[in-house]
Structure 1
């Protein structure tokens, strides 16, 4: 059954006659057509999936092969939506609750049908990956691993964080990546104590630990990987912290299986960090979903995530970290597929402590 027909089957239980999709990634997920955000919408009716966009996309739509999707060319996207709904006597239109207030105001003014918001309707469908999606995520993760090896081969004392990020970006794009899925984090020395530092003009120096957190799109899907390494030497406390984080990461992966709750999975690693006395220095969730977006459902799994329950073929990150002000921090992040038989690790770059240039 196609993704569109799965959505259409939900209409009766949702008490809607049609559903309007405006999120770019959700349109791509349902149709395979790449429409830039704001350049149109997708109307799913009981019988059709209709892309409504303007004539800039006419040639691309003529080349687009689909047995399910048709197109309407119009500069008045939502006027066209209303005309289609009126023509088909569709009286209740569902829409994504994440739309802007401006778009809501437009729909509220235009639509003769009732409009009803839904939270994460398509995102819930995206949570479970099919075999094609997992293959694409695996390829993206393999490119991440190769990119990390490249970064290790060029990093040296005196290079700035920004220079390393720029060279990695160039290398990833030259090897197939379309774009980064978030600004690359290169955090060295005391900057590594900031869990979401960005690449700065700080020079990487001997004795620094460097946290490299990056994600790149390949064929529409993104990986998200973090590795921490040292340059020249490493503070003894951070060496111990590294071992704690690596063990916590592995414990979470070992516990990851279908049916486990998010708080239980989080506890598998967090408890080890707390027992070592660093509970206050781990200040974020254990991970999140990943796929067409770098952050997908589950948005996070952490101590309070009792309602999150892992499903077969869900792809999540595992990213414990300890951040010590004035000294530095360590984070190691992998992407994994949750299955009935346990977890498959997609990001296969080495996780043992690496010291470059010593």
Structure 2
């Protein structure tokens, strides 16, 4: 089986490129397995070579880096050296990631003698379909998220703050194998739960609150992304009904996850139920997105206007319908799902029925 670098090398000729420059650290890691912070160097891939260039801070790490297909060089001026390497290797057309900063483009445009050609999502499209080793790591991450949520259930009660719950969860996740959060944890209670991207605040949990917990952590380099909503004590009857609507919509979408499915049709399976229940205006975001080495991978989002999104075997997506009612609260339930020829495989196995906590 061709390596990731070999797959990229095999495409260069078809793209009319002599080489491709990779500066995004996640893409460098995906292709090589080497951790390089943003701005600390680059990976250059030609038809028959792959070269990592960084500075003296990485000297020891590069010496210890064991690779049969990547060579490393230490530089005091990355992009002057890039130009020299390209001249030596007779690179006349150099592709680069369109996500680079304008400052870096200005540097390259000034220094490089090779023609520069931007590409959007060239490596990200490679990352979309997961290998078996990647799926195993995503399952590991999802299992830890399920365990972390089950731990947090015992800590949610009236009088505790959203921030305190987020801190408890952060400590527990890192103590049990997570390396870092992939986005700021959302703990949103009461009226705050009506804000899809609320941040954990100093608000104290109260009896009768609905509490949304949305979190993602890296495990073995890959992140899960899970949301659950629970009730504290007595719950408003409307929110209880809303919970059932959202949960039914979540399952309806999962039931339609299959190879070849289009994003807009997948979204419609759940959104239609929410609209028929009278809450169409209260569902104000896409149905989900891809995950992997980053919490938002391709597809960046799928919703009503995404007929161009087509699901592939071994792609991993989130399914996260929600209803948000100002001044009252909101409900979101999110699962991570593997697309397979045999049907959907749900990775996040925490309970999805409405749980009452804090008694």
Q: TM class, shorter-chain normalised?
A: over 0.9
Give the whole-Å Cα distance in 1 for the aligned partners of 2:48 and 2:59. 22
Give the whole-Å Cα distance in 2 for the aligned partners of 1:46 and 1:262. 35
Give the whole-Å Cα distance in 2 for the aligned partners of 1:309 and 1:187. 33
Q: For 2:181, what is the secondary structure of its paired residue?
A: coil
Give the whole-Å Cα distance in 1 for the aligned partners of 2:46 and 2:326. 55
Q: For 2:84, what is the secondary structure of its paired residue?
A: helix
Alignment correspondent of 2:334:
333
Give the whole-Å Cα distance in 1 for the aligned partners of 2:80 and 2:136. 39
Equivalent residues of 2:208, 2:235 under 8 A apart:
yes
Alignment correspondent of 2:355:
354
Q: What is the Cα deviation at residue 250 of structure 1?
A: 0.4
Give the whole-Å Cα distance in 1 for the aligned partners of 2:84 and 2:234. 68
What stretches of structure 2 of length at least 5 have no aligned partner?
Answer: none
Give the whole-Å Cα distance in 1 for the aligned partners of 2:21 and 2:244. 49
Q: Deviations over 1:144-187 (max 9, x none)?
A: 00110111011111000000001110111111111000000000
Q: For 1:14, what is the secondary structure of its paired residue?
A: coil
Matches within 5 A, 1:1-358: 1-358=2-359
Q: What is the Cα deviation at residue 357 of structure 1?
A: 2.4
The alignment's C-alpha RMSD in Å is 0.6
Give the whole-Å Cα distance in 2 for the aligned partners of 1:258 and 1:237. 36
Q: Deviations over 1:245-280 (max 9, x none)?
A: 001000100100000100000000000100101000
Give the whole-Å Cα distance in 2 for the aligned partners of 1:179 and 1:264. 34
Give the whole-Å Cα distance in 2 for the aligned partners of 1:22 and 1:108. 15
Give the whole-Å Cα distance in 2 for the aligned partners of 1:155 and 1:236. 20
Give the whole-Å Cα distance in 2 for the aligned partners of 1:135 and 1:75. 39
Q: For 2:344, what is the secondary structure of its paired residue?
A: strand
Give the whole-Å Cα distance in 2 for the aligned partners of 1:244 and 1:75. 59
Q: What is the Cα deviation at residue 225 of structure 1?
A: 0.2
Q: What is the Cα deviation at residue 61 of structure 1?
A: 1.2
Q: Deviations over 1:85-118 (max 9, x none)?
A: 1001110000000000000000000101101000
Alignment TM-score, normalising by the size of structure 2: 0.99
Q: For 1:13, what is the secondary structure of its paired residue?
A: coil
Give the whole-Å Cα distance in 2 for the aligned partners of 1:233 and 1:265. 34
- Structure 1 ranges of 4+ moved more than 2 A: none
Q: For 1:115, what is the secondary structure of its paired residue?
A: strand
Equivalent residues of 2:207, 2:234 under 8 A apart:
yes
Q: What is the Cα deviation at residue 281 of structure 1?
A: 0.3
Q: For 2:238, what is the secondary structure of its paired residue?
A: helix
What stretches of structure 1 of length at least 5 have no aligned partner?
Answer: none
Equivalent residues of 2:173, 2:217 under 8 A apart:
yes
* Count, aligned residues: 358
Give the whole-Å Cα distance in 2 for the aligned partners of 1:50 and 1:212. 42
Q: What is the Cα deviation at residue 64 of structure 1?
A: 1.2
Give the whole-Å Cα distance in 2 for the aligned partners of 1:4 and 1:78. 21
